């Protein structure tokens, strides 16, 4: 039984491929390897070159494996469906070209939900028709990823989108066939949404195909919720702290993974401001060292 630990470009502040503040992708690969990781996610499609041979050569030089990729787009907005589909197809092609396994679907931040991130009782909900269309868009991409590209597809609950709170996640899992859609559970976003990732894992371990390891500072979270802070400002404020410094019980997470016979990747994600005061590579090293200290070799 092998659990492998990777990282992702978002730990270097890379959220959107066209952000001029992004570090160079080769620097991200270098620092990921330097920090002790053996795999990394693709990042937003277009951040790394889409010419597969260029990426393959650079990964091989560093003995890095491409773990998977994320489609972080507005599944909630029917007017943006072409953009969602474009991002999904390009991501699937890139992952398949490199033999990567995991396609992660995230509903991006909505202006309707951003002010109530972390406050499920006050958040606006979709009506039945809107939900049905939203679910169908997620299901469409999940089926495409699984059937056409042979990928393992996971839904990733995320703060400030419409797939965020526990009841929404449970409803989606009930309505979409498990053979198409698994779970990519993010420990930090679970806490942000007000539910315990360990308790969620106990209920759904058989459906979890992939994990994102993220920790959350309870003091910053409380202030963020009270002040209705924008998600990206909250990242800049340090809501996602180094692993082991927040409220996630990673020892319990590891125990559940081992008990269930989980094999594969768990990826560190520490969303941050690309122009922030912290050093991404230093944080990446600290996070890797922490995981080793609790038994994740």
Task: Quick: pLDDT tens for 263-282.
Answer: 999 999 998 877 777 799 99
3, 266 in Cβ contact below 8 A? Answer: yes
187, 253 in Cβ contact below 8 A? Answer: yes
Tokens at 107, concatenated:
């509903």
Task: Output the CA angle 162-85-171, nearest 5 degrees.
Answer: 30
pLDDT at 273: 77
| CATH code of 113's domain | 3.20.20.150
Q: How many residues does the chain have?
A: 297
pLDDT at 123: 95
Quote the number of domains for the chain.
1
Q: Taking the mean position of all CA atoms in its chain, how far away is CA 40?
A: 12
Instruction: Fill in the DSSP letter of residue 239.
Output: S
Which letter, b or e, does each residue of 19-58 get, where b requires 16 or more Cβ atoms within 10 Å of its Cβ? eeebeebeebbbbbbebebbbbbbbbbebbeeeeeebeeb
pLDDT, tens digit, 9 for 90 and up, residues 212-256: 999 999 999 999 989 988 887 888 888 999 999 999 999 999 999
pLDDT at 230: 80
pLDDT at 234: 86
Structural domain span for residue 26: 3-293
Going by C-beta distance under 8 Å and a sequence separation of 6 or more, which residues neighbour residue 213?
A: 5, 187, 243, 248, 250, 253, 266, 267, 268, 269, 287, 291
Q: Which residues of the chain have pLDDT under 70?
A: 1
pLDDT at 1: 55
């Amino acid at each position: 039984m092998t659990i492998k630990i990777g990282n992702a470009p978002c730990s270097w502040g890379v959220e959107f491929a066209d952000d001029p503040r992004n570090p160079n992708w080769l620097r991200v690969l270098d620092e990921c390897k330097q920090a002790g990781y053996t795999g990394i996610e693709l990042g937003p499609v277009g951040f790394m070159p889409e010419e597969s041979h260029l990426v393959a050569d650079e990964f091989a030089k560093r003995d890095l494996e491409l773990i998977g990729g994320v489609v972080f787009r507005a599944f909630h907005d029917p007017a943006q469906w072409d953009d969602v589909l474009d991002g999904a197809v390009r991501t699937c092609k890139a992952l398949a070209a490199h033999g990567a396994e995991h396609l992660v679907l995230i509903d991006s931040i909505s202006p309707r939900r951003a002010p109530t991130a972390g406050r499920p009782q006050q958040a606006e909900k979709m009506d039945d028709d809107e939900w049905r269309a939203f679910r169908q868009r997620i299901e469409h991409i999940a089926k495409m990823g699984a059937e056409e590209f042979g990928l393992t597809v996971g839904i990733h609950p995320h703060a400030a989108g419409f797939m965020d709170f526990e009841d929404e996640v449970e409803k989606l899992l009930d309505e979409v066939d498990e053979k198409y859609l698994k779970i990519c559970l993010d420990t930090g976003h679970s806490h942000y949404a007000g539910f315990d990732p360990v308790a969620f894992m106990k209920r759904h371990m058989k459906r979890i195909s992939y994990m994102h390891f993220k920790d959350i500072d309870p003091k910053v979270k409380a202030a963020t919720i009270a002040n209705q802070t924008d998600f990206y400002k909250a990242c800049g404020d340090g809501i996602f702290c180094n692993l082991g410094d927040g409220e996630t019980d990673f020892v319990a997470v590891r125990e559940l993974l081992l008990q269930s016979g989980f094999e594969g990747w768990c990826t560190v994600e520490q969303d941050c401001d690309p122009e922030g005061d912290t050093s991404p590579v230093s944080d990446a090293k600290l996070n890797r060292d922490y995981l080793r200290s609790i038994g994740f070799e």
